[in-house]
């Protein structure tokens, strides 16, 4: 009878141990599940932060590109404006210089036609010469240069041939005489020099193109 009780008690203890082990396993599972939840939240938070960072970087890149484009547009507009101002300045200067050329021509003509041997005319002639010299010095500061090709080879880019004359004393296509001087301003032709050009005598070889 005692043995039967002991067996029964052992069975009850075994059942209790099994139940206790099962509860421990369930408790452990709950602990594990409870541990996974914070990890998932942290991963989600990291993902959200990384996404926000990527979006912020993309926005910054787009804004930087916009700033660069705006700066390039501003630089282009500034260069265009400077170019237009420079063109307007050059045009105004060329026009102004062109209006002054007849004054220069008249001063030079007065000097050429004056009788330098006449004592009564000398003071006036000296005044005209000084005026001409001062005038030329002033306009040369603005880039005006003289074209006086006496004795040079004819250049159609700078000279305008008013006539041609046979000459045995000059090589063909040489400027024999300058009827009116020409001028350039800042490397641009303002007025061609009007000239007389030589050509080979009849029966000779004319090398003019």
- Looking at 125, 142, 159, the residue that finishes a domain is 142
Name 194's bridge partners.
160, 180
- pLDDT tens for the chain, residues 1 to 209: 555 555 455 555 555 555 555 555 454 444 444 455 567 888 888 888 888 888 888 899 888 888 888 888 888 988 888 888 887 878 788 888 889 899 999 999 998 888 878 888 888 889 999 999 998 998 888 889 999 999 999 999 999 999 999 999 999 999 999 999 999 998 899 999 999 999 998 865 444 44
169 and 189 fall within a common domain: yes
149 and 190 fall within a common domain: yes
For 183, which DSSP code? E
pTM of the model: 0.57
> pLDDT value at position 32?
44
Please tell me the distance from the alpha carbon of residue 28 to that of residue 123, in angstroms, as a whole number.
Answer: 127
Q: Which domain holds residue 114?
A: 94-142
DSSP 143-162: TEEEE--TTSBP-TTTEEEE
Q: Does residue 61 fall inside a structural domain? A: no
- Using the CB atoms, write b or e for 16-29: b if 16+ within 10 Å: eeeeeeeeeeeeee
Residue 155 has a CB neighbour count (10 Å cut-off) of 14
6 three-class SS: helix
Tokens 């082990």: give the residue.
21
Q: Does residue 115 fall inside a structural domain? A: yes
153 and 192 fall within a common domain: yes
161 and 117 fall within a common domain: no
Q: Does residue 170 fall inside a structural domain? A: yes
Please tell me the distance from the alpha carbon of residue 140 to that of residue 138, in angstroms, as a whole number.
Answer: 5
Q: Does residue 21 fall inside a structural domain? A: no
Name 191's bridge partners.
183
The CATH number assigned to the domain holding 152 equals 2.30.22.10
Residue 54 has a CB neighbour count (10 Å cut-off) of 10
Q: Does residue 193 fall inside a structural domain? A: yes
Q: Does residue 183 fall inside a structural domain? A: yes
What is the tally of structural domains in the chain?
2
Q: Does residue 19 fall inside a structural domain? A: no
131 and 172 fall within a common domain: no
Q: First and final CA of the chain: distance in angstroms?
A: 150
Asked whether 155 and 196 are in contact (CB, 8 A), the reply is no
Q: Does residue 64 fall inside a structural domain? A: no
Q: How many residues would you count in the chain? A: 209
Residue 128 backbone class (left: φ over 0; alpha: ψ -120 to 50; beta: rest):
alpha
């Amino acid at each position: 009878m005692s043995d039967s009780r002991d067996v029964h008690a052992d069975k009850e203890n075994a059942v209790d141990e099994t139940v206790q082990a099962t509860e421990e396993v369930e408790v452990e599972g709950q602990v594990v599940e409870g541990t996974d939840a914070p990890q998932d939240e942290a991963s989600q938070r990291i993902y959200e932060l990384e996404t926000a960072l990527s979006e912020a970087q993309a926005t910054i890149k787009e804004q930087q590109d916009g700033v660069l484009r705006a700066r390039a547009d501003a630089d282009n507009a500034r260069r265009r404006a400077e170019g237009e101002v420079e063109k307007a300045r050059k045009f105004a200067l060329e026009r102004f210089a062109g209006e002054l050329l007849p004054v220069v021509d008249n001063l030079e003509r007065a000097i050429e036609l004056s009788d330098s041997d006449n004592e009564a005319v000398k003071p006036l002639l000296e005044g005209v010469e000084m005026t001409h010299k001062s005038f030329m010095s002033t306009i040369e500061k603005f880039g005006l240069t003289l074209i006086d090709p006496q004795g040079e080879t004819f250049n159609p880019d700078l000279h305008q041939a008013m006539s041609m004359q046979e000459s045995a004393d000059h090589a063909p296509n040489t400027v024999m005489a300058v009827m009116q001087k020409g001028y350039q301003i800042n490397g641009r032709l303002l007025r061609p020099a009007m000239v007389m050009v030589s050509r080979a005598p009849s029966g000779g070889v004319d090398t003019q193109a």
